[in-house]
Amino acid sequence: MTQPKQQFAQTILENMHSAVLVINQDLCIEYMNPSAEMMFQISRARAKMRSIEELIIDEPGFFKRIKTSLQTQHPFSAFEDDLMVRTGQSLAVDYMASPIDYVDCRQCLLLEFVGRGRHRKMAQEKHLLNQNEASRSLLRGLAHEIKNPLGGIRGAAQLLEKKFSNEQDREFTQVIIREADRLKQLVDRMLGPGDIPNKSQLNIHQILEHVRNLVQVEAEHVHFVADYDPSLPDIYGDESMIIQAILNITRNAIKEVPEDGEITFRTRPLRNYTIGDNTYPLIAKIDIIDNGPGIPEDIRENLFLPMVTGHAEGTGLGLSIAQTLINQHNGLIEFTSSPGYTIFTLLLPLHTESE
């Protein structure tokens, strides 16, 4: 009877969003759940029986409190604390420590961490999705209003052209037709891809290598680094759409990097990750990192809106299109940027079967 109960408890623990750790009297890790693996960027196999001092560094106050709690058996909690983890990242967390009797009645400490940053990020991600949806519906309305009269103008110019016998007069109608076509093309690009994704199982690393081969020819000065996690399963998506999205982001990075520029393609799995209103058990995280000057401050807020560009010759459509393509796969593109270090992150849910 106890076996199913234990399994049930285990399932709950493994699926919790809070990071859960159990440490013993020597501060060594006895257990960690998948959210803790994600938070501390270490697999439980590697973390097992290592000291928590290897995961969280330079935090004497934190260690003093957990040692006291282990000795006195008193629980404690801390809110809005910043902890430095071994990757050098600072984590904004709330955490609770509760003394427990663990396997074989040993006195251990149960530590629960909730990332405050994650909640803020979830709100930002939802904002990105809503922003893209709002701009798309505005564009659809506008495109309809532009394309209808544009068709009329083009048709009338063609009729007029037939009436002109003189070559010079025809040049004027040709200008009208050419410009009407150009405007229609622009509106179509702004509308973005209208096709329904044609999905199949795809190896994301093959796609990244394909993009790298494509762009390396255009940008010989750029050094490409591949940092792939080979354990990442196939994604289920439309190959040409995903290539297009990665290409748009990579081409932007190429434009920005210096002479000896470096672009890194990095892949990692993420577990139990929420995008918008849905939580997915497994997500492919694809980072495209460059060492360019960073995204201009004044366009960051609306970067994924159409026509937002930092270049006089840019149309500002590349990122808007990429975002739409990835949204069509229930995924999301986000970014962080500072001088010398810009990351665009594609988050793609991994589906094992067709939707």
Ligand X SMILES: Nc1ncnc2c1ncn2[C@@H]1O[C@H](COP(=O)(O)OP(=O)(O)OP(=O)(O)O)[C@@H](O)[C@H]1O
Identify which of residues 114 and 317 has a Cβ nearer to ligand X in the complex: 317
Q: According to the binding rule CB under 6 A, does residue 342 interact with ligand X?
A: yes
The rounded radius of gyration (Å) of the Cα atoms in the chain is 26
Buried b (16+ CB within 10 A) or exposed e, 66-80: beebbeeeeeeeeee
Residues 173, 164 contacting (CB under 8 angstroms): yes
- How far apart are the C-alpha atoms of 106 and 104, rounded to whole Å? 5
Q: How far is the CB of 137 from Mg ion (least distance, A)?
A: 23
Residue at shortest CB range from Mg ion: 318
Q: CA nearest 110: which of 62, 56, 66?
A: 66
- From Mg ion, ligand X, none, interface partner of 256 (C-beta below 5 to 8 A by class): ligand X
- From ligand X, Mg ion, none, interface partner of 310 (C-beta below 5 to 8 A by class): ligand X
Binds ligand X by CB under 6 A, chosen from 18, 252, 327, 328? 252
- From Mg ion, ligand X, none, interface partner of 327 (C-beta below 5 to 8 A by class): none
Identify which of residues 139 and 308 has a Cβ nearer to Mg ion in the complex: 308
Site stretch for ligand X (CB under 6 A), options 35-43, 218-226, 235-243, 289-297 = 289-297
Residues 291-320 that bind ligand X (CB under 6 A): 292, 294-296, 299, 303, 308-311, 314-320
Residues of this chain that interact with Mg ion (CB under 5 A) are: 252, 318
- How far apart are the C-alpha atoms of 180 and 150, rounded to whole Å? 6
Query: CB within 8 A of 319, min separation 6: which ones?
Result: 248, 249, 252, 303, 304, 308, 333
Residues 321, 333 contacting (CB under 8 angstroms): no
- From ligand X, Mg ion, none, interface partner of 21 (C-beta below 5 to 8 A by class): none
Query: What is the enclosing helix (H) or strand (E) of 155?
Result: helix 116-163
Q: Three-state DSSP class for 29? A: strand
Q: How many residues contact ligand X, by CB under 6 A?
A: 23
Residues 336, 294 contacting (CB under 8 angstroms): no
- From Mg ion, ligand X, none, interface partner of 315 (C-beta below 5 to 8 A by class): ligand X
Q: How far is the CB of 300 from ligand X (least distance, A)?
A: 9
Contact footprint for ligand X (CB under 6 A):
248, 252-253, 256, 290, 292, 294-296, 299, 303, 308-311, 314-320, 342
